[in-house]
Amino acid sequence: MKILVAVATRHGATREIAESVATALGSALTDAGVWSLVEVRDAGLVHSVEGFDAVVVGSAVYMGHWLEPARKLAESFSDELRRVPVWLFSSGPVGEQKRPAEEPVAVEDLVRRLNARGHRLFGGRIDRHTLNFPERAVVAALRVADADNRDWPTIRAWGREIGTSLAHVERNVS
C-alpha cells in the first residue's frame, strides 16, 4: 500500500505534524501486517497522485485558509483524489476566535469535493524568530505568545486511526 502525505507549511511546524502522522500511519499498517510505503512531500512539489492508494493532505492555516500549494493540489487533482481514501488536516490557527461557533479554517467545501473521510484541526507552533515582519505584526495584534500547541499524542493517534482504517480496507480487498 502506497500512501502520500502532502503538506504545505511556511516555517516547518506543519511538516513536523505530517511526518508524525506518516510515521504513526505506517506503524499501524506494519502492526496489522500490511506492507506500506508512506511518502511525505511538499504539496507544491506533487505533480501527480497516480499510484497512491490513499492520500493525506495538510496545510498550515493563515487568516482562516489553507496555504496556496495545498489548495492547488486539492483543486488540480480533485478527480483523482475522489477515487482513493483521503484525509485532511490543518495546523493552527493562533489566537482566540471571536465567536465560539466560528469555524477557524474554511475546509468544508474541500471535504465535500474530495469526499474526504475527515478533517482534523491541530494546534500549531508560534516562534517569533521564524516569522517575517508582517507575520510578527499579526501575531502581536492578536496578542499571541510564542508557544508550541501541537498535541503530539493526539496527532500520532490520528495517524494510527488512518493506518488502522486502511489496514481494514486492505484486508477486505485481499
Low pLDDT (below 50) residues in the chain: 97-102
Strand 119-122 relative to strand 147-148: parallel, antiparallel, unpaired?
Answer: unpaired
pLDDT score of 92:
83
Q: What is the pTM of this model?
A: 0.88
pLDDT score of 127:
73
pLDDT score of 99:
37
Query: Is residue 40 within 8 Å of 5, Cβ to Cβ?
Result: yes
- Tell me how far apart the alpha carbons of residues 110 and 113 are, in angstroms, rounded to a whole number: 5
